[in-house]
Homo-oligomer: A and B are copies of this chain.
Amino acid sequence: MRRFVADKTRNLVRRASTCSPTCPVSPRPHHPPSLLSQPTSPPFSSSSPSHPSSITSPLRFLTAAALHPLSFPASPNSMASNYSTTPVTLQSVNPKVLKCEYAVRGEIVTLAQKLEQDLKQNPDSHPFDEVLALCDHPAILDRSETQGLFSADAIERAFQILDQIPGRATGAYSHSQGIKGLRETIAAGIAERDGFPADPNDIFLTDGASPAVHMMMQLLIRSEKDGILCPIPQYPLYSASIALHGGTLVPYYLDEATGWGLEISELKKQLETAKSNGVCVRALVVINPGNPTGQVLAEDNQCEIVEFCKNEGLVLLADEVYQENIYVPDKQFHSFKKVSRSMGYGEKNISLVSFQSVSKGYYGECGKRGGYMEVTGFSPEIREQIYKVASVNLCSNISGQILASLVMNPPKVGDESYESYTGEKDGILSSLAKRAKTLEDALNSLEGVTCNRAEGAMYLFPRIDLPHKAIKAAEAAKTAPDAFYARRLLDATGVVVVPGSGFGQVPGTWHFRCTILPQEDKIPAIVSRLTEFHKKFMDEFRD
């Protein structure tokens, strides 16, 4: 009774998936109370009547952003004094919390969040959505109407997944590492990807990759004397998590001149410097493909990194969430697990954690909060500690767990959904590649701007040589020069980018991160506005 030949409903599904023209205006972006008083609001925010649908506005694009991310000026005393009798003040709050910064959320966070949804408008990933809906409400699985609404393989997959869930429902707690059957699916997907076995017991399913990163930081950081080697520029989750857990970020610089190359000599130098400062370095974070830098590591380079971690006794924390996002034919994704196993290194030789997420790739299901970490090369007693920390939050959400298993085991040849799935996937990835190239070329044509190619991930991180006068003006405005540029760009065009200072950069250089997510047909307008703004800016501040 479980197999049906479903109607060919995909056209209808596809039709329904694109945002309809009657799609209502999203509500006014919410800010915490004190943010409402920010003097400058973006000119084309969703509440602007001239741009009823913020999502389709060509002017609001590029990347999730915050100017002066999360370092708001303290509220005026008059406001603070109203709360003078409350028990928690800036003086009595955990200083680790104060210290933590998070560049990709903050002042204009709602703007940023909507932009991320540009990706969501196209991809759809219908087989995934279908399976999730069926698992949420399994009562409809064997109803005849369901055959008209869902593809046969989605129905079959929902049956399979529900078979794996004790109680056949998504509403119960799972094992703290995630549902065993789903971890088996994921492990099989990893083994297929890498050509080396993977163990379901090594998989910890998490609400996105972020909690997994926090978990590892919690495990490793005992005090400010413990250091974590992090790339600069880096995704600010790492700096935020290290700050929250009270450790020391030990920076290593990626070499912009060689396409954001990761040099072992730089790792060694920074490790030695940290040691001489009394810092015990515990782990190395590598983001591959890079965020915000977009580079894809060469396999040889990865071998060197593995060797370095092995020799120095460092845990290798491999952020591999962009593993599906590669846009250049001369680069491929190789997981660090595959690389280390290819080198002959096993469980006992290298401590390696690989982070994966359902928020990236061609699927971009960030709101589902699905992800996992694969934990290898830790002793059983340490594994127990990781398991214990995982168990304190009971388990990750089951829909996210299911989605993680779908991402690692997508429709196969012969499945009814296969054709539409590959069509959508290839369409999204090739479109992202085109967008990356167009934006890269446009950025490189600007005066004083150089931009490495986006080999992977979803970002470009151009360098901008700002005129001396602009730097002075930024100083006068008490802001970083790249933040000054980004703010001017936002004010003039509605374009949102994240200043490089939120990610870290070689002192005296200035960058910004922009995503490659704007819809393809919006990019020409974006480029022309950016170009126009940039010319005016450079003219205004020309030395």
Contacts and interface: CB of A to CB of B under 8 A. Distances in A.
A241 interface: yes
A358 to B, nearest CB: 9
B400 A222 contact: no
Given A32-B384, A100-B389, A399 B399 contact: yes
Count class of interface residues, chain A = 35 or more
Interface string A62-82: 000000001010110001101
Interface stretch (A135-143, A448-456, A497-505): A135-143
Interface string A345-379: 00011010000000100011111110000000111
A534 interface: no
B383 A33 contact: yes
Given A89-B382, A130-B137, A382-B90, A211 B173 contact: no
A302 interface: no
Nearest to A90: B381
Contacts of A93: 219-220, 222, 382, 385
Contacts of A385: 90, 93, 97-98
Nearest to A215: B97
A178 to B, nearest CB: 9
Contact of A220 (B94, B98, B315, B364): B94
A173 B27 CA distance: 15
A270 interface: no
A172 B366 contact: yes
Interface of A: 12-13, 16-17, 19, 23-24, 26-27, 29-30, 32-35, 46, 54-55, 70, 72, 74-75, 79-80, 82-83, 85-90, 92-98, 100-102, 105-106, 109-110, 113-114, 116-117, 120-121, 125-126, 129-130, 132-134, 136-143, 145-146, 148-150, 163-164, 166-177, 180-181, 183, 200-201, 207-208, 210-211, 214, 218-222, 237, 240-241, 244, 282-283, 313-315, 348-349, 351, 359, 363-369, 377-385, 387-389, 391-400
16 contacts: A12-B139, A19-B168, A24-B163, A75-B380, A85-B313, A85-B348, A88-B382, A89-B379, A93-B385, A94-B222, A100-B389, A117-B166, A117-B167, A171-B363, A367-B397, A369-B395
A464 to B, nearest CB: 26
- Shortest 9 CB-CB contacts between residues of A and residues of B: A83-B379, A133-B137, A105-B391, A34-B380, A145-B145, A369-B397, A117-B167, A26-B166, A16-B139
Given A166-B55, A219-B94, A396 B384 contact: no
Nearest to A24: B163
Contact of A366 (B79, B94, B106, B171): B171
